Structure 1
Amino acid sequence: MSRAQSPVLLLVALLSTAGLQAAAETRLIMVEEQGCVWCERWNAQVAPVYPKSPEGQRAPLQRMDIGDPVPDDLSFDGKFRYTPTFVLVDDGTEIDRIEGYPGQDFFWGMLDRMLRKLDTGAAETD
């Protein structure tokens, strides 16, 4: 193998590894409904900055109406009783959830706790 081929092989290997990491998809599902005052408050206070935040980069937001059927690629631990409900999912499986909107200061802290739970693999414990 020539020196010119080495960087090409390295690039292919890096792209292959990136593809494997992308397969483990982490998302934050926001279960909402029209007319929900707390959903509107979250939309005003958090939604504009969420996609730009490190949390939003790591767990992009996906919205779902509480009345819609659960998409085939998602698995939740239980029914939804409140809106908004924020569900952290990894590879389509629920890791943890926040029921209701506790205000932006508490929301960020609770989301951070959920992401740490994902990092430690503690999805089954609280």
Structure 2
Amino acid sequence: MTFALVAGLTVLFPPASREAQAAQLVLFEGSWCPTCRYWNKTVAPNYATNDVGRLAPLRRVEIGTPRPAGLDKPNVGTIFAVPTFVVMEKGREVGRIEGFTTEKHFWRRLGNILSSQKLAGRK
């Protein structure tokens, strides 16, 4: 991720306290999926260490396995493609990103979802 992009996301999403953390990013992925592997190589190593990753911690779900409690319908809609990134807040889907092309595109779309939900300022 470029420095300017990280700095911009930090301004938009200051670190949240643990008590304020109500969001999570659920990654529906397939171990066989080359695009999922690319995301895991380029974004995943730094996801948890930045402010956005702390605001919406990552939870992984392998496609083809039973969905964990709380990720069943109607809380999360149908998954059509992998990877699919679902932003959850208080047990409900509030946004999603289907597929992955570039790191810059991923961070921009995730930032748009989080800012549209005003998750960053909640206490």
Distance in 2 between residues matched to 1:35 and 1:86, nearest whole Å: 17
Displacement of 1:94 in angstroms is 0.1
2:68 counterpart residue number: 71
When normalised by structure 1's length, the TM-score is: 0.73
Q: Hey, what's the Cα distance between the residues in 2 that align with 1:83 and 1:42?
A: 11
Q: Secondary structure at the match of 1:119?
A: coil
RCO comparison, higher one (Cα < 8 Å, 6+): 2
Provide structure 2 residue ranges, at least 5 long, that are not aligned to the other structure. Answer: 1-16
Amino acid across the alignment from 2:35: W
**Shift in Å, 1:91:** 1.1
Alpha-carbon distance in structure 2 between the residues aligned to 1:62 and 1:112: 18
1:24-67 CA distances to partner (integer Å, 9 max, x unpaired)? 62100000011100000000100011001111000000000111
TM-superposed deviation, 1:118: 1.5
Hey, what does 2:93 align to over in structure 1? Answer: 94
**1:1-126 maps to which residues of 2 (within 5 A)?**
21-22=19-20, 25-74=22-71, 75-76=75-76, 78-119=77-118
CA separation in 2, counterparts of 1:70 and 1:118? 24
RMSD: 1.7
Identity %: 36
- State the SS of the aligned residue for 1:73: coil
Q: Which amino acid aligns with 1:89?
A: M
Structure 2 length-normalised TM: 0.75
